[in-house]
Amino acid sequence: MDTIRLAIAGATGRMGRAVLQRMAHDERFVLAAALTEPGDPLAGTAARVGEMDVDLTASLDGSCAALIDFTTGGGTMAWLEVCASQHIALVIGATGHDDRTMERMREAAKVIPIVFAPNCSVGVQAIRNVLSQFARELGEAYDVEIVEAHHRNKTDAPSGTAMALAEDVASATGRRLDRDAVFGRHGQVGGRPGAQIGIHALRMGDIVSHHEIHFSGPGETVTICHRADTRDTFAAGALRAAAWVVERAPGMYGMGDVLS
């Protein structure tokens, strides 16, 4: 395979820096652009990221095969437009998207390949691969509660991963999140409806990512847990997705497609 020219959007953020550091040792890629948002005072300056000196820019010029987006919902919308117009494959690891951004994502996927991965971890995807069967086999007698924890600066809640896990359980068991999900509890809430899926978000310290799915039934509780203590696992997954997506036809893909 030829070396892939790769752009990183959100290059000054936690995940952007992690991807840049890992990419420095990955012979599959060469850096096309380290992107920051328009108006950022760091745009046009050089930055030291791990063992790399990178020039930060707010625009994407020249040839680029793929872009990894770790920005915000507004940033994702802007880079969707750029990638669609320049036919650049896209990996979206950013979370917290509204319905408008998701709709634009689906439109852009008609002309470019997009991997939408709220969580790029291989371990999380392995859990998702078995979670539906797990939920079906335990059945309605088991209550489901999902708890996620992230660092104090994460701006969206619950996490995109927690919502994806909840959707996996709901789809497998005939539930609907718009009807059966409850986000935290307070006050006199009454007894717990059997079909309810509890989803809870913790924000504290510098926790990278922690997700637990609890199934509690007659006489036992089963917990599936994933804990990421470093962002390196997400960076590795994002780069794996970028190497995969450049060879795909236009469409919307997930990490499950990448790993398969």
Q: Domain of 45? A: 4-120+231-259
Q: What is the CATH number of the domain that holds 18?
A: 3.40.50.720
Average per-residue pLDDT for the chain: 90
Note the pLDDT tens digit of each residue in 162-214. 999 999 999 999 999 999 999 999 999 999 998 999 999 999 999 999 999 99
The reply to whether 129 and 221 lie within a common domain is yes
The reply to whether 194 and 245 lie within a common domain is no
First to last CA, the chain: 19
From the list 25, 97, 150, 151, the catalytic residue is 150
In the predicted structure, residue 25 carries a pLDDT above the cut 90? no
The reply to whether 20 and 109 lie within a common domain is yes
Asked if 175 and 169 count as a contact pair (C-beta separation under 8 A), the reply is yes
Note the pLDDT tens digit of each residue in 91-134. 998 877 888 989 999 999 999 999 998 888 889 999 999 999 99
**Could you tell me whether strands 143-150 and 209-217 are parallel, antiparallel, or unpaired per DSSP bridges?**
antiparallel
Specify whether 110 is catalytic: no
User: Which of 62-71, 211-220, 237-246 is least confident?
Assistant: 62-71
The reply to whether 72 and 98 lie within a common domain is yes
Specify whether 211 is catalytic: no
Q: What is the CATH number of the domain that holds 153?
A: 3.30.360.10
Secondary element (H or E) of residue 202: strand 197-203
In the predicted structure, residue 144 carries a pLDDT above the cut 90? yes
The reply to whether 252 and 175 lie within a common domain is no
The reply to whether 129 and 53 lie within a common domain is no
Q: How many domains does the chain have?
A: 2
From the list 25, 87, 151, 154, the catalytic residue is 154
Q: Is the pTM of this model over 0.85?
A: no
